[in-house]
Amino acid sequence: MAINYQERIPNNVDLGNDRRLQRALEHWQPRFIDWWQELGPEGFQMRDVYLRTATSVDAKGWATFGAVKMPDYRWGIFLADQEKDRTIGFGDDFGKPVWQQVPGEHRSTLRRLIVTQGDTEPASVEQQRLLGKTCPSLFDLRNLFQVNVEEGRHLWAMVYLLHAYFGRDGREEAEDLLMRHSGSEDNPRILGTFNEPISEWLSFFMFTYFTDRDGKYQLKSLAESSFDPLARTCQFMLTEEAHHMYVGETGITRIIKRTLAKMAELKTDDPAVLRKAGVIDLPTLQRFVNFWFSSCMDLFGAEVSSNAAITFATGVKGRPDERVFEDHVERDTVMEIEMPDDAGDIRLGEITVRSGINEQVRTAYIKDCMVGVIRWNRLIKKAGFEFTIELPSSRFRRQIGFWANIVTDPKGEFISAEEFNRRHDEFLPSESDRAYIHSLMQQVVEPGKMAGWIAAPDRGINNMPTDYEYVHMS
Ligand SMILES: [Fe+2]
Ligand SMILES: [Fe+2]
C-alpha cells in the first residue's frame, strides 16, 4: 500500500479512507505529544537526533535514518503485510480462517491483552526519562532516544487497535494509557516492574537486555494471534524491538570489555581496586543480572495457568514461533515440570501442555537470554580470567506461580528467609553497589568520547563513524 508522508499520521492502514478512525486518532495525537513533552525524555527535546524512522514495512522503508527533533518524530501506524488466506495456527480452531474483526466472545480478553502490552510501552519511556542527564556518550544517548521513540510508536500501534476495533471502550482505554504513570501512587502502570525508575545506565542496559526481551516474547506470542490485525501489528513491532535488545547486549558487552581491560592492566580482579579505577567489577554486574533476570520471571505468569490454557485453546494468544512445535492443538498432551513437593523438595510433576503455556514461553525466553551470557563468558575467558556470569534459577525471587514466596538462593536452592536476608548483598545489588554505580554516572557528550566505565562501540549506527555527532550539541 502506498504511504502518504504528508499525512499527519503516517500509516499503511489506509487511514485516509476511514474518517471516523482518522478523527479519533487525530484527537488522541495532541494528548500523546503533551504526554511526550511532559513525561518523555528530559532535555534534548529541541536537539537534532540521528534517528531511524519507520516510513513503511518493506526492507527499504522501515529504517530511514536522519536528523529529527524528537517531538517531530513521525510516529505512525504500520502493520506487516497481510498474508493471503492466513489460517489459525494453534488451538481448537486450528486451520480455520483468521479473524479480521474481534469475535464478541474474545473481546474483553483481547482488549486486556492489548491494553497490558500497550501500557508497558509508555511506561518504559517514563522509567528512562532522566537517563539523558548521565549518558556515557552521544552514541548511547542516541540509542536511548531511539528506544524511547520506538516505544512511543508501539504505544501508537496498540492505540490504533483499540480505536479501530474496540469502539467506545477502546477509546477510553487509549486515554487511560496516557493517564497511568510509571511509579504513580494512585494511578500506576499495570505491571510492577514497569513502576521502578531506571536511574542509571547499567540498569538501562539490563532492562533492554532482559525486560525488552520479555517484550519480544510477549509480542511473538501475540504475533501468532488469530486476530489478524493484532498479529500483523506485533510482527512489525518485533523488527524494532530487535534494536532494543541489541542496545542491551552491546551495552553490557562494552561494560565487560572495559572492566576486563582494567583487570588486565592492573592485574587484579579485586572489586575494591577495580572500583577505585572507575569500572564495574564482574560480581556487581552479576548481582544486577540476578536482579533484572529475576524481575522478568513473573512477567510470564504462573507455571500452571488456566487463563493461558484458554487463550491458547481459543486462538487468542499463541506460543512464540508456533511452527517449531510439533503439535499445534495440544488437546490431551502433557508435559513434565518441576514443582515443590510437600516435604519442601522439588519433584517432577505432570501438567497439561495447554495449562503450561506460560512455562513454555518462559523456557524459550531463558534460552534466548543465554545467548548473550555465553558470549560474555567467552570474552572473559579469552581475557584469561576465571569468572562465569550465570543466569539465576527461575525459582529465585518469584512472587507468582509454584515458587511464589519460596525462598531460594540464585541457584534455586531453598534457604531460610533469615539466610536470604543475611546474604542479600551477595545475591542482589546492595545499597552500596547502587551508590557506586550512581557515582559513575557523569554525562559525556563530546562526539566519540566514552565514560570511563564503558568501552567504545565496535561500530556506529547505520555505518556512521562511532565519533559521529549522533545528538547535535553544537
Ligand atoms: Fe516496545
Ligand atoms: Fe522495546
Residue 152 CA: which ligand is closest? 1
Query: Which pLDDT does position 63 carry in this prediction?
Result: 77
Ligand 1 midpoint to CA 313 (Å): 26
pLDDT tens digit sequence for 93-119: 999 999 999 999 999 999 999 999 999
Single-letter code of the amino acid located at 237: M
Domains (ranges, CATH) in the chain? 24-463 (1.10.620.20)
**Ligand 2 center to 37 CA (angstroms):** 20
| CA of 250 relative to ligand 2 center, distance in Å | 15
CA distance 473 to 288: 32
pTM of the model: 0.96
Ligand nearest to the CA of 212: 2
Q: Kindly identify the ligand whose nearest atom is closest to the C-alpha of 241.
A: 2
* Cα(158) to centroid(ligand 1), Å: 10
Handedness of CA 101, 104, 106, 110 (dihedral sign): positive
For residue 165, how far is its CA from the centre of ligand 1 (angstroms)? Answer: 21
pLDDT tens-digit map of 358-381: 999 999 999 999 999 999 999 999
| Reported confidence tier of residue 1, pLDDT bands at 50, 70, 90 | very low
Ligand nearest to the CA of 147: 2
| Percent residues over pLDDT 70 in the chain | 99
**In angstroms, what is the span from residue 453 Cα to ligand 2's centroid?**
24
From ligand 2's centre to the CA of 217, what distance in Å? 11
Measured distance CA(196)–CA(465) in Å, rounded? 34
Ligand nearest to the CA of 210: 2
Ligand 1 center–CA 220 separation, angstroms = 12
Ligand nearest to the CA of 154: 1
Strands (E), 310-388: 334-340, 346-352
Contacts of 278 (CB under 8 A, 6+ apart): 440, 452, 453
**Using one digit for the tens of pLDDT, what is the confidence trace for 189-213?**
999 889 988 999 999 999 999 999 9
What's the gap in Å between 214 CA and the centre of ligand 2? 9
Contact residues for 444 (Cβ-Cβ < 8 A; gap 6+): 135, 136, 137, 138, 450, 451
* pLDDT at position 6: 57
Q: How far is the CA of 248 from the centre of ligand 2 (A)?
A: 10
E strands within 10-47? none
Q: In the predicted model, what is the mean pLDDT of the chain?
A: 95
- Protein residues within 5 Å, CB atom, of ion ligand 1: 121, 151, 154
Dump pLDDT digits (tens) for 293-303: 999 999 999 99
Task: Say how many Å lie between the CA of residue 406 and the centre of ligand 2.
Answer: 31
DSSP-derived secondary structure for 197-237: ---SHHHHHHIIIIIHHHHHHHHHHHTT-SBHHHHHHHHHH
pLDDT > 60? residue 437 = yes
172 alpha-carbon distance from chain centroid: 25
The per-residue pLDDT for range 220-254, each reduced to its tens digit, is: 999 999 999 999 999 999 988 999 999 999 999 99
Is residue 298 within 8 Å of 400, Cβ to Cβ? yes
d(CA 143, CA 245): 11
364 vs 32: CA distance, rounded Å = 34
Among residues 159, 146, 164, 263, which one has the least CA distance to residue 208? 146
In the chain, the amino acid numbered 98 is V
Q: Which three cell numbers stand for residue 244?
A: 532494543
Pairing of strands 346-352, 64-69: unpaired
pLDDT at 5: 52
Q: Going by C-beta distance under 8 Å and a sequence separation of 6 or more, which residues neighbour residue 75?
A: 9, 10, 32, 149, 152, 153, 156
Ligand 1 centre and the CA of 205: distance in Å? 15
The alpha carbon of residue 178 and the mean position of all alpha carbons in its chain are separated, in whole angstroms, by: 19
Q: 39 C-alpha to center of ligand 2: Å?
A: 17
315 conformational bin, left if phi > 0, alpha if psi -120 to 50, beta if neither: left
Q: Which ligand is nearest to the CA of 122?
A: 1
CA of 244 to the centre of ligand 1 (A): 8
CA of 198 to the centre of ligand 2 (A): 14
Q: Does 308 score more than 60 pLDDT?
A: yes
